[in-house]
Structure 1
Amino acid sequence: MLQQGAENASSVEITMLKLHQSCRDHIEQATRPNESEINRVLHLEADLAAWLGALELQPEAQQLQSAHRDFGLAFYAAMSGLYRQAFSSLRSFLEVMVGATYLSSLEFRRRQWVSGELDISWKLITSPEEGLYSPEFLKEFCPEAIDERAAMLASLKQAYRRCSEYIHGNVSTSQLLPTEISYREDIAKEWLSVADSTLTAIIHCLMVRYYKDLPQTHRATVEGSLEDHFSHLVSVRQLLDLPLEEKHS
């Protein structure tokens, strides 16, 4: 009996090491042809980390940091060829990060969520009438962004939907996924593209909710990210006191 148990353990170890080697091989294949896209995603992730540092004293900081760790898992999974898991962790990152940002304005609801009495409602968070980009919310936290609400809301929904299609096994995505760990350039590039848009949308959410409440010293740590990624937006140019482009009739 003990001998059989030892043989089973050895067999499992061999199988897992083979899987580990397949992931290592995939990492080598995935990183070289996608260097520019990876650098862009890592730049955005570093900017997000700066935001989280500026928000470390917020009551919801723990949930934001936890969501950030989900992004690390998503990135590792994508580079290792675990594509479905990569999209699943990316969606979790998006949902928790944006959910915590939204609930930070509703302290009672936020506490209920933390204690397990309330679930995050993506439908409510992205509701045009009640959510993070509703006119009422923006009026109180960032009225400069009201004209951008439709575009930013669409970006959030699109990223969430694409992740969900991989998670729930839609026919179109199921046919794309390999049956074993093997490099698929199209899927790797799509994950990087969705990760790019997800990180960009989240940074905009953080700006909308928190920028005006940050002390000046903390604003300085995040203004670079806003200028890098959103200097084309009127709201950011107004918040950073940048010159507005002249409109020509």
Structure 2
Amino acid sequence: MAHIRQATNEAELEINRVLHLEADLNSWLKVLEAYPESQQLRSAHQDFGLAFYAAMSGLYRQAFSGLRSFLEVTVGTAYLSALEFKRRQWVSGRLDISWSSITSLDDGIYSTPFLREFCVEAIADQSDMIGSLKGAYRRCSEYIHGSVSTAQMLPTTISLREQTVQEWLSVAATALESVIYCFMVRYFKDLSSIQRQAIEASLEDHFSNRVSIRRLLGLPLEEGAAES
């Protein structure tokens, strides 16, 4: 409890940002409740909650492990929702899906063929968003597998490492943004106008600098972006 109190006091602004993103993610989960994959998405949301608790409690390796699990399941679920046969095989345990296939530039969730069918506007931000997604996953993996650089940052006892807490919160914010953007890519155009109203404000709040979001929401574009 001493660790939790100290960690939350010293990282209040960063924690508020993460919790704001988490609340927006929860808005998406409510919108997607009728979809068959909603159970997997809710389970991954619980993984995020446990990872957050671990980070605030000083269980840093576990915190990054839970965050990676959250990324794998949410992005993988969104990707497989477009491949119903494979999604059912995955849920039944007859298919394993790899991170490399989820993020493949040939046919993954950010591949050009996938974006052309589900959200052609996102092609403009394709490189940046796949970079953010892969970067968050890679940093989590480094903590899990004990790279030299991360091992030096992990205490041998439960004690506060402010730099590690700050990094977890930074990676968590990137992970949440990446997941919300993936949801936008996969689901936004399938939503009713009422469903869109529940998540449009959060999209504008977090991604108003993205050409894809501005086009989807009908926001004005800068002159150069409008011509591209």
TM-score, structure 1 normalization: 0.89
Structure 1 residue 148: Cα displacement: 1.0
Equivalent runs, 1:195-234 vs 2, <5 Å: 195-234=172-211
**1:149-164 equivalence runs, <5 A:** 149-164=126-141
Query: 1:32 is paired with a residue of what secondary structure?
Result: helix
Give CA deviations for 1:41-91 in whole Å, capped at 9, x if unaligned.
000000000000000001100000000000000000000000000000000
Matched, 1:106 2:83: yes
1:169 deviation in Å?
1.0
Within a 5 Å distance, the mapping from 1:173-184 to structure 2 comes to: 173-184=150-161
Deviates most, 93-102 or 233-242 = 233-242
CA RMSD of aligned residues (A): 1.2
**Partners of 1:26 and 1:189 in 2: CA distance:** 14
Residues 81-120 of structure 1 aligned to structure 2 (within 5 Å): 81-120=58-97
Distance 1:81 1:119 in 2: 32
Moved beyond 4 Å, runs of 4+:
none
Pairs within 5 Å for 1:44-63: 44-63=21-40
Quote the residue 1:29 is aligned against. Answer: 6
SS in 1 for 2:223: coil
Helix, strand or coil for the counterpart of 1:242?
coil
Kindly state the Cα deviation for residue 227 of structure 1 after the two structures are TM-superposed: 0.3
Distance 2:30 2:6 in 1: 33
Q: Give the letter aligned to residue 247 of structure 1.
A: G
- Give the whole-Å Cα distance in 2 for the aligned partners of 1:138 and 1:209: 8
Give the letter aligned to residue 162 of structure 1.
R
How big is the shift at 1:234? Answer: 1.1
Pairs within 5 Å for 1:235-246 = 235-246=212-223
Identical-pair percentage: 67
1:177-196 matches, within 5 Å, as: 177-196=154-173
Q: Give structure 2 stretches of 5+ with no counterpart.
A: none
After superposition, the C-alpha distances for 1:103-154 in whole angstroms (9 at most, x for unaligned) are: 0000000000000001121000111111001110000000001121111111
The amino acid of 2:51's aligned partner reads A
Partners of 1:149 and 1:25 in 2: CA distance: 43
Q: Give the whole-Å Cα distance in 2 for the aligned partners of 1:130 and 1:139.
A: 11
The CA deviation at 1:176 is: 1.1
Structure 2 residue identity aligned to 1:33: E
Equivalent position amino acid for 1:198 in 2:
A
Q: Matched residues in 2 for 1:90 and 1:120: separation? A: 18
Q: Distance in 2 between matches of 1:80 and 1:30?
A: 8
User: How many residues are paired up?
Assistant: 226
Rounded to whole Å, the distance in 2 between the matches of 1:98 and 1:28 is 32
State the one-letter code of the partner of 1:225. S
